[in-house]
Structure 1
Amino acid sequence: MLYGSISPHIGNLSFLKELDLTNNSLTGEIPASFFNLSSLTDVYFSYNQLHGNLPRNLGISLPNLRTLDVAYNRFTGTVPPSLSNASSLVVLQLPSNNFTGTMPSMESSRNLMWLSIFNNSLGSGASSLQWLLIHYNNFGGSLPKQVANLSTGLEVLSLKGNRLSGGIPGEIQNLVSLQWLGKLQALQQLQLSYNSISGSIPSSIGNLTKLLGLYLSNNHLQGGIPAGIENCRNLMTLDISYNNLSGVIPSQIMSISSLSRLLNLSYNHFAGAIPVEVGSLTNLEDLDLSHNALSEEIPDSLGSCVAMEELHLQGNLLQGTIPSSIQSLKGIRILDVSSNNLSGQIPKFLEDIKELQLLNMSYNDFEDEVPLGGVFKNASIILLDGNRKLCGGLAELQLPSCSFRQHKKVLSHKLKIVISTISSLGFLTCIASCLLIFWIKKKGKPDTIPADDFQLQVSYHSLHKATDGFATTNLIGVGSFGSVYKGVLDMNEHSTTIAVKVFNLQRRGASKSFMAECAALKNIRHRNLVKVLTACSGVDHQGNDFKALVYEFLVNGSLEDWLHPVQSGDEPPRSLNFIQRLNISIDVAYAMNYLHHQCGTPIVHCDLKPSNVLLDEDLVGHVGDFGLARFLPSVADSSSTCEASSSIGIKGTVGYAPPEYGMGHEVSVQGDVYSYGVHLLEMFTGRKPTDEAFQEGFTIHRFVRTAISEKLVTELLDPVLLNELHIGGTTHNNTIPSSPKAEEILISILEIGVACSSDIPQERISMNEVVTRLVSSRKSFLDQSTRRRREVR
């Protein structure tokens, strides 16, 4: 726990060979006298708060240097070019500083085994390398041909999070394939995620027989998975998610018995059946085949994957029932089969799987009674929305009773008989019925949105009663086009707490907003969207037009109230800790990703902000208020703009609306991404984009970007989070890992917000990438928390 600066008298230790000051709180610059100690061989300054430049002649003044580790500090300037002369150098660690310029050629460093320069602003060189880590920098263009000259002893190559494009490089040509990788026989880790690499995965990938981890996610790869990958017999992790890969999943990939950590093929275009050979992956912990176009039935052989902890099959076209073999997966924690075409009863054997923490079976065609034992005792961890034939279960699920369901079937059968009889009466009876319906409507009876759109039918009278006459004591919010009231509605023989959004039809645009919200909400379903129960369009007791939307009531109100609480009485203001903010941010990202990429026609929300994010009893985020939502015309081009709906007049909310809307540009998904970026920065800084500090072009985006570049994370954080965690010092509880890992995770999250809120729409990342990067940050956070608790014990 040393702090303060390093004494210049350290230069008097003329025989000093090794100095290790890792993991302290040292500040200031390294004294110039230190770099005159020619006897030095190993120097460790990592995990401090040192700053300044490293001297340009460092590689000459320290001729015996074998190790230089200055990771996780605040050093600036260029990497000393004289390091290219440090022929004894074995380890060079420079990550997570703010070095700029080019990387000196390490061509003469024949002994260099470990080079790590990730998380800098570097924008190029080594020959005996075993590790090359240059992820999360600003390297762009195609991978240079010199990469083919890397050491044949290379074990780890990590280039993720740069701006690489073009094909994966090939025979020293213009980089179109991956043939050069065949020479890297010792390669164990290959990280190329989060770039813009195109082309196909070459069959020569199978030459990397020592490969343990292959990470190609979040690129633009096309074609299929080469069968030769089965030769990678040591592969433990394969992640090729978020690409444009297609075709069937080759059975050969399922024969790699070493796959034990992760097989992630999600967010591609794979079709056909899940290979029955999947049962060979008996040691696999996490299988993610979600968001493809997989069809047919779930194979029985999945039950052989007895080590499975997470199984993600959502967002496909799977049919049939849940196979009974799934009951063999005793250790499974997450089972997600939502948004498929699965049918039949919910298997009772799911009650016996004790480790389940999340069971998502929503938006399928399951039917009959919901079990009551095991996981089904906890409504917060089961999701069954969108299965209209289910009944029973816990009261919190708000499903009809099974006796009601059976009664409804009998009524339906009788109704068919009645309809058949009425039809036989002929054309005149039909006309008479139509005239009768028309006459009833003319008498002023309130009408509702058709039952095909919203099943629950309500009238003005029932909403008036539910809210005590729209009493001010039940008023819970006021928006641009109306007010929101809390109410208790009697339905299906029990009472349900609801939120009623009553539109002020005297306000210009309110009626159009009502129709927009109905159009957007009637066909979309997602656990992170506010659930609309029904809509009412009719007349009030005075004969005036009345329009309202009825939502599920979320007990914890809006995110705005938690981020910027107003002190009331003696109660302490509500606040959110770090992991809660991160979870909610991921919830919102999932919702926006669904709207942009997964619900058929892309939907642009146009008004994303904390006040439009509502929190349920478990603080799960739900995006609401679709009054400004717009549909884009093409599913194929999610980046296109909506020519049918000009953004003129659709300004969203000041601070959250992207700058291009103010210049008359059409709405686009990139506009939502901008709003999300601002929202994410507000979550962790605690500052609104309209804060008085942000004036004359100085935005929350620029504030965070500048502070990150200067390594001033403590000046960014919401004071509530600073009380929870002191970056660079001690941790006040066991919830959050202490620095420097915490600082690294925080920076990675803030960098996502900065990337989303760029002034230039084309520079913003997609919600697909946002989801992946945030989930990765959360995993790092939870892993670090677990390690810290073990250390404390």
Structure 2
Amino acid sequence: MLLPLTELCALKKLEELDLHHNQFEGILPLCMDNMTSLRLLDISENQLNGNVSSYVVASPKSLEYIDFSYNQFQGRFSISLFANHSKLEVIRFINQNNKLEIETENSLGWAPLFQLKVLELSGCSLNNLSGNVPGFLLDQHELEVVNLSRNKLNGSIPNWLVENNTRLRILDLQNNSFVGHLHWQLYHHMHISWMDVSNNHLKGKLQEDIGRIFPNARYLNLSHNNFEGSLPSSINDMIYLEVLDFSFNNFSGEIPKELVTSCTLLQILNLGYNNLNGEIFLEQFKSPFFEFLQLNDNQFTSIASIPNTSSLLYIDISKNDILGTIPRWLGNMTSLWTLVMANNFFYDQIPCELSARGTIDFSHNLVSGSLPSCLNLPRLEHLYFPGNKLTGPIPKALFNFSSLLTLDIGGNNFSGSIPDEIRELYNLKVLLLGGNHFSGIISDQLCWLSIISIIDLSKNAFSGTIPRCFSNIYFGKISDANYSFLSRKIDPVWLGQGAYSYKGVLEKHVESYDSREYADIKVKVEFVTKYRSLSYEGYALEYMSGLDLSCNKLTGGIPQELGKISSLHAINLSYNELTGSIPKTFSNLFLLESLDLSHNSLSGEIPSSLIGLNFLEVFNVAYNNLSGKVPDFKAQFATFERSSYEGNLFLCGPPLQNSCAIVDTPAPTQPLVVSGNKWHEVDLVVFRTSFLVTYIIFFFSVVSILYIDPYWRQRCSNLIEDFLHFYNCVVFDTLRRLSNYLLH
């Protein structure tokens, strides 16, 4: 939709123009300087484009609030163009298209006439050449909101930025290249409620009195830096704290107990990816709003308890050194959505009290015994127990979890066959049973799982044939939002009405919130394809599909019907006892990226039509009984080396060394039988030439011997005479007897 340009320029007495969050396209009218009464201009969240500097020059000097965020503007301009806008309070340029560059430093120097309250220049390649914090901010003393995030600014964070602006409430400097230490002065930051310096290169220890420096902080994010040392106990002075994120640093020591007793409004605590140790000691947690706890990738050795709050939705204490049994009190978490305790040393058996509504992940522990039939998880969506020591059959009670989307119990010691009741998991999208001791046939009941995307039955002892009905499974061909792999969306953290409110007819609120780290709790699946184990999560998992039946005892031929599953990205049937030919229908698998049929007893030729698989990155038919010419050495097949075909003695053509035989005459030739029951035609030209040469060599060799050696010459003469004498006797004696017989 285009803006009504003529009509806008005619509104000379208009004071507030709010066009945000529409689908307006095109450019702004340059006649806007005629609107001499305009105080507020908000054109954010549209599709407007063009060089933004011309719009700034045309903007009326009466402006107090200007917001050009989230458009398609491009080019380079200087904030100094606003120098004479003496009434300006708000400048907002939040950019996402990476085509806009904003400079604040002028070689001639400039002093603004305005005193800003809000400055948001995010993702604008700010001062791209120097990387300096805007120098004009030295003259600003009334700032309440400063957002300079995602600009690659460097150097140290200037203390004067907050010391000069005692009303500052929001400071967002995330995703830059700031270095050095943080050192803040006491009593200068009483109003700061939101501070984010994450994703920089800051280092050193935090000030012990940081809690008293920011007593009104509600959101504090120092993640993805190089901070070290212990967590200051003064954090307990931040009694209004809602979000504390110190993840991806080098903090060490224990969690201060004051943190869990004083921060009664805390919603999100993320201390993951540090070097914290000791005991997880949180049973005295006082916050009734607590939703998110992440302590993964540390060195905790034990867990006393986790607060029994009705609001707790997410717990991740994976990748620690926790040793012991699985806590029974986890069953008291009635609202728990995600429980991740993977990569620890939990042992013993799984308790019946285990509870969660979205995800349970105990992968890669020491859990033993069998899956208890008393588990009651009717609303569970994702269950992970790979890499443990679980034994026995799959309990039929597990198939009562009809909401299950992911079932991963690979890498254990399960045995028995796949129960027919598995068809009850009709919502299942990922089934990983590889690396166990399952046996028997692959049940046709799997074909009832029609919306499944990934099946891994590898490294078991399955026998029989591959079910033809696998072609009834969609393998990711359809995508339904009801089966999303996003297990939970935790609400973003809001700061009410925000730090600044514009008092006009159209009352505007500048507010900050964060949902980056906490919005999408993504499901992760490990699947072996292209010879390596790859992790698929979130939306990437939605588009992955694969079938892995390798390392079993499957017999019979490869069903032609597999070629109908056009959505498959990976097929692995290697290390079985399959016979017959490679189905020509595989040429219909247009999305296929990996095909491994090696180490079987397949025969016949490789279908030349496979050359049309343009996405194929891995192709392996090694160690079979294939014969004939390999597909032409072009397109994707030009990338496959000899190892893809080795172990097939009667394959020929590039990249193999043995070339295929060429027949010059259409006349039929006598076939030659060779080992392995393979037939090849004799080249007559080669045969006749070799025979003639051999005859000539033999003849002249005999003549030479007789000429040189008289003894052998005499022997040869005697032999000829004896032969003639024998011939005469036989012939004449035979004729004499015949004539006598006829006369009588």
**TM-score, with length taken from structure 1:** 0.49
2:160 aligned with 1:183: no
Which position in structure 2 is the counterpart of 1:456? Answer: 413
Q: Using the alignment, how far apart are the partners of 2:441 and 2:316 within structure 1?
A: 30
Structure 1 residues 206-258: Cα deviation after superposition (integer angstroms, max 9, x where no partner): 73221011112222222232334221111000112222222222222333112
| 1:381 corresponds to 2:359 | yes
- The partner residue of 2:147 within 147, 158, 172 is 158
Amino acid at match of 2:3: E
Structure 1 residue ranges without an equivalent (≥5): 1-26, 171-177, 407-452, 469-483, 500-528, 542-553, 566-573, 596-601, 616-622, 628-652, 658-674, 676-793
Alpha-carbon distance, 1:612 to partner: 4.5
Q: C-alpha deviations, 1:531-578, integer Å up to 9, x for none?
A: 98974799x99xxxxxxxxxxxx99988xx43x44xxxxxxxx53479
Show the counterpart of 1:67: 40
Task: Answer yes or no: is the 8 Å Cα contact 1:84–1:107 preserved in 2.
Answer: no
Structure 2 match to 1:106: 82
Q: Distance in 2 between matches of 1:266 and 1:556?
A: 45
What do residues 416-435 of structure 1 show as CA deviations (whole Å, max 9, x unaligned)? xxxxxxxxxxxxxxxxxxxx
Amino acid at match of 2:333: I
Alpha carbons of 1:533 and 1:314: their partners in 2 closer, same or farther (altered >3 Å)?
farther
CA distances 1:66-105 after superposition (whole Å, capped 9, x unpaired): 1112222222223345558733211112112122231442
Count residues in correspondence: 462
1:343, CA displacement in angstroms? 2.5
Per the alignment, residue 346 of structure 2 pairs with 366
Provide the rounded CA distance (Å) in 2 between the counterparts of 1:267 and 1:151.
34
Kindly indicate whether the alpha-carbon contact (under 8 Å) linking 1:530 and 1:614 is maintained by their aligned counterparts in 2.
yes
**1:45 corresponds to which residue?**
19
- Aligned residues of 1:487 and 1:497 also touching (Cα < 8 A): no
Indicate the SS of the match to 2:119: strand
Q: Give the Cα–Cα distance (whole angstroms) in 2 for the partners of residues 362 and 485 of structure 1.
A: 17
- Is 1:270–1:293's contact at 8 Å kept on the other side of the alignment? yes
Q: Aligned partners of 1:603, 1:486: CA distance in 2, in Å? A: 15
Contact in 1 for aligned 2:49/2:71 (Cα 8 Å): yes
- SS state at 1:198 partner: strand
Q: 2: CA distance between counterparts of 1:271 and 1:582?
A: 31
The aligned residue for residue 646 of structure 1 is: none
Partner of 1:354: 334
* Contact 1:165–1:198 (Cα < 8 Å) also in 2: no
CA distance in 2, matches of 1:531, 1:254: 49
Call closer, same or farther: CA 1:240–1:393 in 2, change over 3 Å. Answer: farther
Letter in 2 for 1:149: L
Alignment correspondent of 1:135:
122
Distance (whole Å) between structure 2 residues aligned to residue 306 and residue 489 of structure 1: 43
Where does 1:705-724 land on structure 2 (aligned, <5 Å)? Answer: none
Aligned equivalent of 1:741: none
Residues 40 and 65 in structure 2, CA contact (< 8 A), matched pair in contact too? yes
Whichever of the two has the greater Rg, that structure is: 2
Instruction: Quote the Cα distance in structure 2 between the aligned partners of 1:496 and 1:388.
Output: 30
1:701-752: CA deviations, max 9, x gaps?
Answer: xxxxxxxxxxxxxxxxxxxxxxxxxxxxxxxxxxxxxxxxxxxxxxxxxxxx
Residue of structure 1 equivalent to 2:61: 87
- 8 Å contact 1:37–1:62 — kept in the other structure? yes
Residue 196 of structure 1 corresponds to which residue in structure 2? 177
Aligned match for 2:210, one of 219, 229, 238: 229
* Partner SS state of residue 224, structure 2: coil
C-alpha contact (below 8 Å) 1:456/1:534 kept by paired residues: no
Counterpart residue number, 2:155: 167
Structure 1 residues 251 and 72: CA distance shift in structure 2, 3 A: same
**Does the aligned pair in 1 maintain the 2:38–2:63 contact within 8 Å?**
yes
Residue in 1 that maps onto 2:95: 119
Query: 8 Å contact 1:95–1:119 — kept in the other structure?
Result: yes
Distance 1:345-1:185 versus aligned 2 partners, 3 A rule: same
For the pair 1:218 / 2:177, whether they are aligned, the reply is no
Compared CA separation, residues 302 and 393, structure 1 to 2 (3 A): farther
Counterpart secondary structure, 2:331: helix
Q: Does the C-alpha gap of structure 1 residues 295 and 119 become closer, same or farther in structure 2, counting only changes over 3 Å?
A: same
Q: Does 1:321 align with 2:295?
A: no
Q: Secondary structure at the match of 1:149?
A: helix
1:297 aligns with 2:297: no
CA distance in 1, matches of 2:482, 2:219: 32
Hey, what's the Cα distance between the residues in 1 that align with 2:385 and 2:442? Answer: 12
- Native 8 Å contact 2:326 2:351 kept in 1: yes
Deviation at 1:306, TM superposition (A): 4.2
**Correspondence for 1:20:** none
Whole-angstrom distance in 2 between the partners of 1:555 and 1:236: 54
AA matched with 2:83: E
CA offset at residue 303 of structure 1? Answer: 2.8
Name the structure 2 match of 1:262. Answer: 243
Q: Residues 2 and 25 of structure 2 are in contact (CA less than 8 Å); yes or no, is this contact kept in structure 1?
A: yes
Change (3 A) 1:486 1:193: closer
**Residues 351-396 of structure 1: CA deviation (Å, up to 9, x unaligned):** 22222112222222223343324xx255853222223245454578
User: Cα distance 1:355–1:456, how it changes in 2: closer, same or farther (>3 A)?
Assistant: closer
- What aligned pairs does 1:485-524 form with structure 2 within 5 A after superposition? none
Deviation at 1:312, TM superposition (A): 1.1
Whether the 8 Å contact between 1:97 and 1:119 is mirrored in structure 2 is yes
Conserved in 1, the CA contact under 8 Å of 2:438 and 2:460? no
Distance in 2 between residues matched to 1:367 and 1:582, nearest whole Å: 27
Question: Displacement of 1:494 after TM fit?
Answer: 14
Q: Secondary structure at the match of 2:244?
A: strand
Give the SS at the match of 2:228: strand
- Which residue is equivalent to 1:35? 9
Relative distance call for 1:357 and 1:215 in structure 2 (3 A) is same
Q: Which AA in structure 1 matches 2:9?
A: F
Structure 2: distance between partners of 1:91 and 1:214: 23
Higher relative contact order (CA 8 A, sep 6+): 1
| Secondary structure in structure 2 of the residue aligned to 1:77 | strand
Q: Is the 8 Å Cα contact of residues 435 and 458 (structure 2) preserved in structure 1?
A: no
Amino acid at match of 2:120: L
Task: Map residues 497-576 of structure 1 onto 2, 5 A cutoff.
Answer: 535=459, 561-562=475-476, 564-565=477-478, 574-576=479-481
- Once the two structures are TM-superposed, the CA of residue 48 in structure 1 deviates from its matched residue by 2.5
Task: Please show how residues 679-718 of structure 1 align to structure 2 within 5 Å.
Answer: none
- Residue 186 of structure 1 and its aligned partner are, at CA, apart by 1.0
Question: 1: distance between equivalents of 2:124 and 2:168?
Answer: 22
1:293–1:317 CA contact under 8 A, matched in 2? yes
Q: Is the 8 A contact 1:282 1:304 kept in 2?
A: yes
* Counterparts of 2:275 and 2:454, CA distance in 1: 27
**3-state secondary structure, aligned to 1:351:** helix
C-alpha distance in 2, partners of 1:243/1:395? Answer: 45
**Residue identity in the other structure for 2:302:** G
Higher fraction of helix: 1
Q: Using a 3 Å threshold, how does the CA distance of structure 1 residues 117 and 390 change in structure 2: closer, same or farther?
A: same
Partners in 2 of 1:273 and 1:354 — Cα distance?
A: 28
Distance 1:295 1:498, change over 3 A: farther
Secondary structure in structure 1 of the residue aligned to 2:413: coil
Residue pair 2:325, 2:346 contacting (<8 A) in 1 also: yes
Question: Structure 1 residues 196 and 312, CA, compared in 2 at 3 Å: closer, same or farther?
Answer: same
Counterpart pick for 1:239 among 221, 231, 238 = 221
Distance 1:136 1:488 in 2: 47
TM-score norm. by structure 2 comes to 0.52
- After superposition, the Cα gap between the structure-2 partners of 1:356 and 1:531, relative to the gap in structure 1 and judged at 3 Å, is farther
Where does the alignment leave 5 or more consecutive residues of structure 2 unmatched?
105-111, 376-382, 393-409, 421-430, 447-452, 465-469, 490-518, 548-567, 573-589, 595-614, 616-744
